Copies of this chain bind each other. A is one copy, B any other.
Amino acid sequence: MGEKSVNLKALAAHLDLTVSTVSRALNDYSDISPATRERVKLAADQLGYRPNQNARRLSIGTPETVCYLMPRQIGPNAQPFVAQLLAGLGEALNERNWDLLVSQADASVGDLASIERLVRSGRIAGLVISRPLKNDPRVNLMQSLGCPFVVHGRTEKCDDYAWYDVDGEDAFVTAINHLARLGHRRIGFIGAPLQYQFAQERLDGYIRGLTHNGLAHETELVQIAEFTDEGGTAAAGILMDLLQPPTALVCVTDMMALGALEALHARKLTPGKDVSVIGYDGLHFGKHANPPLTTMAQPQAHAGRRLGDILLSIIDGADPTKFHELQRAHLVQRSTDGPVSSNAGQANVSEREDSP
């Protein structure tokens, strides 16, 4: 309890040496005799000496800390993968005994201002940015500050900084191909606001997938909403109430897809039979949806780990533009995809006719 934690001075006094000698002994300087080096290390162990990191880092000149910027929207539909990502990041940092700071931009100050304060205050050596906008001012800021950073995702122009991403465009092409093979020719797109780059990418993939399969791109089949389950329900509702409703829906997130399933249930349509639905994310939870959700799964496991490794490399002086890692998502077939139903486009109409 009462014992002040032993610092270098105390340790030196205990050993009848000076602090400089002790410090160099602990740091394996060559100009310290092996004998005293061992003596110092032994005493340090026994007394439980732990260098004060604030002092150390001040002296060293690096904070030995990186920061993860939490995505804003943490509503009731929390981001399940934040925990996994942090775990991976922490793993990479632990190997160097670096620290992981998490920060959400202080709402009262504004994103940019609080980032600027963070790096200018010398607390962090690098930053991880999540879910960037199409043209994200945060990356510009980081570049002008000259502070190492890596982006989880991409912006529109992404040549001149490091990022790790999953190819959403490719994933949606794959999804559309799959649906086209099943006979679908009217496929609805449930998207998120296009200011998010990931939303734009996936829409691009949707369109490319359509043309690749010789299908027309009708703007009425594209619905944008907030990426929550409620947003998905609303968007799917609009699509299914069209005069010629789609026979399949692709959604930019699993959460939206789950919401879409609700909209189908409300219209007495069976997902995977009357209407196919494909989500995106590969959330573990989708397995328990009603029915189990077919989705484009991204390899979440290593994202955090890779982001950490990349960021550390850049801090070590590597060229950021060398790090452009694009992973591929793969189709996880569960139960919401199926061949186009014979009475396609009529199912809901007939159903709705007998209901009062």
Contact = CB atoms under 8 A, between A and B. Distances in A.
Nearest to A60: B54
A81 B78 contact: yes
A182 B195 CA distance: 50
Interface string A47-77: 0101111110110000100000010001011
A42 interface: no
A84 interface: yes
A223 B91 CA distance: 34
Contacts of A94: 104, 106
A74 B78 contact: no
B63 A54 contact: yes
A317 to B, nearest CB: 16
Nearest to A84: B78
Contacts of A1: 144, 146
Interface residues of A, number: 55
A90 interface: yes
What 6 pairs across the A-B complex have the smallest Cβ distances? A290-B290, A50-B120, A82-B83, A258-B288, A54-B58, A52-B122
A77 to B, nearest CB: 5
Interface stretch (A95-103, A152-160, A206-214): A95-103
A68 to B, nearest CB: 8
A122 B5 CA distance: 9
Contacts of A91: 104
Contact of A123 (B53, B80, B86, B146): B53
B70 A83 contact: yes
24 contacts: A1-B144, A5-B120, A50-B121, A50-B122, A52-B122, A53-B121, A53-B122, A54-B63, A55-B58, A58-B58, A70-B86, A74-B83, A78-B81, A79-B80, A82-B83, A83-B83, A87-B104, A94-B106, A100-B101, A100-B102, A261-B288, A288-B289, A289-B289, A290-B292
